[in-house]
Amino acid sequence: MTAPRVVLGIAGASGAALGLSALRQLTRLGAEVDLVASAAAQRTLAAECGAGAWYEIRTLATRVHDITDIGASIASGSVPVTGMIVAPCSMRTLAAIAHGLDDNLLTRAAGVQLKERRRLILLAREAPLTLAHLRNMTAVTEMGAIILPPVPAFYLNPSSLSEIINQIATRAIDLLAISPPLARQWTE
């Protein structure tokens, strides 16, 4: 059995720790991870997760693709991947995906997931939301993407920010269905 291959996009919205957590967990699951991150994501990673975060991400990923490399393997539907997570997903990235702009490798790889009917999980990060944001979320949902706002599961009584981040990232991975569910679940 081969390891699942997952594309991880990291856009420039606040919440870079979500992408880092998803990558750590995917690596522990033995997944091959193709990473593509925007320049703003790299800046946000440093600001929110520390100066060494970008180095850790590049080290953990199986393949790191430059966002301008529109000819990378993940830009083609003929390359089999299980699906894609964008964590966090900025409103700019969401809009580009919703309107099929495919103007960089991150949005092109997301568009490939949609056209190939693969799972695309978007951790859309913004507050409050404008009508444009909501319409873009509706558009990508109608195309088959899954919007997973990074909202804490307060009923789990998380004791730290790390616990919240890891739970949200684990839920995104669970939506790819590459392993039995890993996220903590509601219990009566």
Q: How far apart are CA 5 and CA 82, in angstroms?
A: 6
Return the structure tokens found at 185: 């679940």
Q: What pLDDT shows up at residue 1?
A: 63
pLDDT tens digits for range 72-93: 999 999 999 999 999 999 999 9
pLDDT band (50, 70, 90) for residue 188: confident
Contact 6, 32 (CB under 8 A): yes
Could you tell me the CATH number of the domain that includes residue 124?
Answer: 3.40.50.1950
Looking at the domain assignment, is residue 115 inside a domain?
A: yes
Q: Are strands 83-89 and 63-65 parallel, antiparallel or unpaired?
A: unpaired
Contact 184, 174 (CB under 8 A): no
pLDDT tens digits for range 21-53: 999 999 999 999 999 999 999 999 999 999 999
Does the pLDDT value for residue 187 go beyond 90? no
Give CA separation, 33 vs 28, 120, 135, 187, in Å: 11, 14, 30, 32
Spatial neighbors of 55 by CB under 8 A, at least 6 apart, are none
Looking at the domain assignment, is residue 126 inside a domain?
A: yes
Chain-wide mean pLDDT for the chain?
96
Q: Angle formed by the axes of helices 131-143 and 91-98, to 10°?
A: 50
In which domain, by residue range, is 86 found? 5-176
Total number of domains in the chain:
1
Q: How far apart are CA 133 and CA 124, in angstroms?
A: 9
Looking at the domain assignment, is residue 127 inside a domain?
A: yes
Helix (H, G, I), strand (E, B) or coil at 3: coil
Q: What pLDDT shows up at residue 138?
A: 98
What does the pLDDT average to over 52-56? 96
Q: How far apart are CA 150 and CA 184, in angstroms?
A: 15
Looking at the domain assignment, is residue 73 inside a domain?
A: yes
Q: What pLDDT shows up at residue 186?
A: 85
pLDDT tens digits for range 106-132: 999 999 999 999 999 999 999 999 999
